[in-house]
């Protein structure tokens, strides 16, 4: 895959998901005070974002190995072995959202991240009640969607930087409307 192919196939999908998340700001401000707000739109976004993240993790694993590990935890473990700083990356949202230091993959070294567990609970056990007595679909909230989106952004950048070629579009093509382009450690 070339960088231009990546932009057509993966980055374009990222941009569509990012646009859909930003559009939710018209109804629920993207702000920490609204992290627990859940909705059907957030559910749709979380399911799609995590599916896309799994696909990109698989592509990254294939670039380094002929075997694809089963499950996101194993895929990310393989990626963390290859890119040790991956779990430490942090992103900040752009103004006007002002949410700092989102570290979406920090828990993947020990267990599965909260937002990935929420994805699995929604995907497989949506109507089950959780420890708080609430249905699992309530985990389709702003915080989980935003953290999943941050993880997808990081993996997109990692994949793009792993590819050969300059790309006709150049690095400016990877501008996020939601996240600052500089990853933090």
Give the pLDDT confidence score for residue 21 in this predicted structure: 98
Task: Supply the mean pLDDT for the chain.
Answer: 90
Residue 166 tokens, joined: 């300059």
Give the pLDDT confidence score for residue 172 in this predicted structure: 61
Question: pLDDT for 69-115, tens place per residue?
Answer: 888 888 988 888 888 898 899 999 999 998 889 999 988 766 778 99
Least confident of 6-10, 100-104, 111-115, 118-122: 111-115
Question: pLDDT for 15-41, tens place per residue?
Answer: 999 999 999 999 999 999 999 999 999
Eight-class DSSP state of 11 = I
Q: What is the mean pLDDT of residues 117-127?
A: 93
Question: pLDDT for 126-170, tens place per residue?
Answer: 999 988 889 999 999 999 999 999 999 999 999 999 998 765 555
Q: What is the mean pLDDT of residues 49-68?
A: 91
Helix (H) or strand (E) segment spanning residue 39 = none
The position carrying tokens 């707000």 is 37
Residue 85 tokens, joined: 């700083």
How many CB atoms sit inside 10 A of residue 105's CB?
23
Give the pLDDT confidence score for residue 81 in this predicted structure: 87
Higher pLDDT, 26 or 183: 26
The position carrying tokens 């609430």 is 134
Phi, psi (deg, nearest 5) at residue 90: -125, 150
Give the pLDDT band (50/70/90) at residue 59: very high
Residue 176 tokens, joined: 């996020």
């Amino acid at each position: 895959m070339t960088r231009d192919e990546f932009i057509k196939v993966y980055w374009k999908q990222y941009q569509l998901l990012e646009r859909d998340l930003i559009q939710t700001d018209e109804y629920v401000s993207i702000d920490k005070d609204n992290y627990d707000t859940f909705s059907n739109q957030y559910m749709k976004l979380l399911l799609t974002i995590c599916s896309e993240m799994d696909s990109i993790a698989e592509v990254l694993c294939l670039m380094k190995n002929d075997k694809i590990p089963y499950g996101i935890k194993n895929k990310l473990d393989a990626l963390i072995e290859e890119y040790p700083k991956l779990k430490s990356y942090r992103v900040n949202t752009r103004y006007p959202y002002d949410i700092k230091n989102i570290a979406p993959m920090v828990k993947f070294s020990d267990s599965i991240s909260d937002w990935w567990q929420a994805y699995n609970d929604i995907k497989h056990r949506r109507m089950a009640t959780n420890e708080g007595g609430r249905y699992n679909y309530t985990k389709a909230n702003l915080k989980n969607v935003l953290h999943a989106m941050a993880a997808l952004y990081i993996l997109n950048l990692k994949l793009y930087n792993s590819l050969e070629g300059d790309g006709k579009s150049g690095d400016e093509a990877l501008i996020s409307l939601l996240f600052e382009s500089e990853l933090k450690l």
